[in-house]
């Protein structure tokens, strides 16, 4: 048994949903004014179908709503009856077709034009032609459409015409898909006395994170973004949002991440209310392999990166990423996210495929000053005082490759070696060489043309 509620114009859709959920969790929002619900099994709580319909209408009136209520064996029949008849309409099981027979044909487009869960379903030209065909055939009621031979309807109007005929008989086009209520993953606590400091705040966060983690686990969800709102005694609100690298719901990890973030961004006054909320996402599915080395869990990586960020500062921890620039050594700091490469010596991505590394440049964070002997415009010997870098006679040399840029910022910006910073908009002008010294090591050398100074940029592996 199904019921349909059809509210008057101007009714609040949210209140209509609340009325339906007071009786059954299996509801389908067909539009801002119409809801269908499964009332099977409610007889033991309220009584027969007429009693249930009366209770529905009485509860709607308590919410200030004027509704039509219909009970039938199918959702389609209940919707058609609720749209056509005012008050209460009760149809016994098996009598749907007889009750729908005298209803006018104009009701079909209204039901046809509403998709599942209230999504609007536009009536295309084919549906409009089908409805017009029924009228040209002299049909005026749903019973006349239902009485047509289905084979002849399919031959003349196709499957779309058959679907219209099934609606006229009160048959549901699809099973009821219950609308899932919006669920908030949020915990709040009002403090009796304001607290100042991270140590007492950690106990409060622990009380909030435990039920929040349990709620996420019951729903098989993980936290994608963690929001913390601290209401201060100064009437201000201190808000922080943490984007997590992977869905997680461990209470201790979430509390640690919040505390480390607040250590770098402390509130300006004492706290008298704490609110913690998360943006949920489907929990991750872990599939370990016996052939590869296991990576640390996202909880461990997130905690470690949060501790390093609190120690070093914002934007100083992560993974370097390439940027669209000709500047040598230019990079951008991005969140650290290790990827399993498959354990076969390749650097792989999510697709499991990768390219074997042939040559890599291990660039020094700061270029190493060097003394270079030049003959006929080519370097022949290199020496440096840096430990671990052996100089000597240059056996092979390739170059020079001249590169320059940011010269248009020479007046506004300062001068500096491009190897010292990959993000400063300072001008550079240099010649690069790849050289192999007598001991077999290969280095990247460059000469700053404006000061005629040599540096070792990195080692080629």
Tens digits of residue pLDDT in 48-86: 888 988 899 999 999 889 999 999 988 899 999 999 888
Residue 405 and residue 412 in contact, taking contact as beta carbons nearer than 8 Å: no
> If you average pLDDT over each of 87-96, 207-216, 327-336, which comes out highest?
207-216
**For residues 84-112, average pLDDT:** 86
Q: What is the band of 413 on the pLDDT scale with cuts at 50, 70, 90?
A: very low
385 is written with which tokens? 């005082």
For residue 38, count other CB atoms closer than 10 A to its CB: 18
**For residues 202-215, average pLDDT:** 91
Q: Kindly tell me the sign of the dihedral angle through the C-alpha atoms of 92, 97, 102, 105.
A: positive
What's 2-168's CATH class?
A: alpha beta
**For residues 111-129, average pLDDT:** 56
Q: What is the pLDDT of residue 416?
A: 47
pLDDT in tens, 189-205: 999 889 888 888 999 99
Q: Cβ neighbours of residue 127 under 8 Å, at least 6 residues apart?
A: 109, 112, 160, 164
Q: What is the pLDDT of residue 134?
A: 87
Burial of 354 (0-12, 13-18, 19+ CB in 10 A): middle
Q: What is the pLDDT of residue 385?
A: 84
In the predicted model, is pLDDT for residue 232 greater than 80?
yes
**For residues 341-361, average pLDDT:** 51
**For residues 389-400, average pLDDT:** 86
94 is written with which tokens? 């098996």
Question: 200-221 as b/e, with b when 16 or more CB fall inside 10 Å?
Answer: ebeebbeebbeebbebbeeeeb
In the predicted model, is pLDDT for residue 227 greater than 90?
yes
Q: What is the pLDDT of residue 230?
A: 93
**In the block, residue with structure tokens 């936290």:** 223
Q: Write down the mean pLDDT value for the chain.
A: 82
Q: What is the band of 32 on the pLDDT scale with cuts at 50, 70, 90?
A: confident
Q: What are phi and psi of 166, to 5 degrees?
A: -65, -40
User: Nearest 10 degrees: CA dihedral of 47, 82, 102, 150?
Assistant: -100
Q: What is the pLDDT of residue 351?
A: 42
Angle between helix axes 13-21 and 49-62 (nearest 10 degrees) is: 140
**For residues 33-47, average pLDDT:** 86
Q: What is the pLDDT of residue 348?
A: 41
- Correct CATH for 186-282 of 3.30.1490.100, 3.40.50.300, 3.30.930.10, 3.30.420.40: 3.30.1490.100
Q: Where are the domains of the chain?
A: 2-168, 186-282, 361-460
**For residues 372-386, average pLDDT:** 88
pLDDT in tens, 286-313: 666 777 776 677 777 777 777 787 777 7
In the predicted model, is pLDDT for residue 277 greater than 90?
yes
- Enter the pTM of the model: 0.48
Q: What is the band of 135 on the pLDDT scale with cuts at 50, 70, 90?
A: confident
Q: What is the band of 355 on the pLDDT scale with cuts at 50, 70, 90?
A: low
Region of poorest pLDDT, from 117-126, 175-184, 200-209, 237-246: 117-126
Q: What is the band of 271 on the pLDDT scale with cuts at 50, 70, 90?
A: very high
Q: What is the pLDDT of residue 183?
A: 78
Q: Closest Cα partner for 430 from 411, 412, 456?
A: 456
127 or 51, which is more confident: 51
105 or 127, which is more confident: 105
181 or 218, which is more confident: 218
233 or 119, which is more confident: 233
Region of poorest pLDDT, from 191-205, 232-246, 355-369: 355-369
In the predicted model, is pLDDT for residue 411 greater than 70?
no
Region of poorest pLDDT, from 183-197, 355-369, 391-405: 355-369
Region of poorest pLDDT, from 112-121, 343-352, 359-368, 383-392: 343-352
């Amino acid at each position: 048994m199904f019921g349909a509620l059809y509210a008057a114009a101007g009714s609040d859709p949210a209140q209509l949903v609340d009325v339906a959920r007071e009786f059954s969790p299996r509801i389908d929002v067909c539009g801002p004014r119409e809801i269908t619900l499964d009332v099977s099994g409610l007889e033991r709580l309220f009584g027969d179908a007429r009693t249930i319909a009366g209770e529905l209408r009485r509860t709607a009136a308590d919410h200030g709503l004027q509704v039509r209520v219909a009970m039938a064996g199918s959702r389609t029949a209940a919707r058609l009856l609720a749209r056509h008849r005012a008050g209460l309409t009760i149809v016994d099981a098996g009598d749907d077709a007889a009750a729908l027979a005298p209803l006018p044909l104009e009701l079909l487009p209204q039901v046809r034009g509403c998709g599942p869960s209230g999504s609007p379903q536009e009536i295309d030209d084919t549906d409009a032609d089908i409805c017009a065909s029924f009228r040209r055939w002299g049909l005026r009621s749903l019973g006349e459409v239902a009485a047509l031979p289905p084979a002849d309807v399919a031959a003349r109007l196709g499957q779309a015409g058959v679907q219209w005929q099934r609606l006229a008989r009160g048959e549901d086009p699809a099973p009821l898909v219950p609308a899932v209520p919006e669920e908030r993953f949020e915990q709040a606590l009002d403090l009796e006395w304001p607290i100042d400091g991270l140590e007492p705040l950690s106990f409060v966060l622990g009380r909030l994170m435990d039920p929040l983690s349990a709620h996420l686990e019951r729903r098989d969800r993980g936290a994608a973004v963690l929001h913390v709102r601290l209401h201060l005694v100064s009437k201000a609100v201190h808000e922080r949002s943490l984007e997590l690298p992977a869905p997680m719901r461990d209470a201790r990890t979430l509390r640690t991440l919040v505390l480390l973030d607040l250590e770098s961004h402390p509130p300006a006054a004492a706290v008298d209310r704490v609110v913690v909320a998360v943006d949920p996402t489907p929990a991750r599915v872990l599939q370990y392999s016996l052939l590869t080395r296991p990576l640390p869990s996202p909880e461990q990586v997130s905690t470690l990166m949060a501790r390093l960020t609190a120690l070093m500062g914002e934007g100083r921890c992560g993974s370097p990423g390439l940027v669209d620039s000709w500047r040598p050594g230019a990079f951008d700091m991005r969140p650290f996210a290790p990827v399993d490469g498959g354990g076969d010596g390749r650097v792989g991505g999510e697709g499991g495929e990768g390219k074997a590394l042939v040559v890599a440049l291990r660039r020094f964070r700061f270029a190493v000053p060097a003394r270079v002997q030049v003959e006929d415009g080519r370097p022949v010997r290199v020496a440096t005082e840096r430990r671990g870098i052996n100089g000597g006679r240059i056996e092979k040399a390739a170059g020079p490759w001249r590169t320059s840029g940011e010269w248009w910022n020479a007046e506004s910006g300062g001068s500096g070696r491009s190897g010292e910073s990959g993000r400063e908009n300072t001008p550079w002008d240099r010649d690069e060489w790849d050289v192999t010294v007598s001991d077999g090591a290969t280095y990247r050398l460059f000469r700053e043309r404006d000061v005629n100074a040599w540096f070792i940029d990195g080692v080629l592996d």
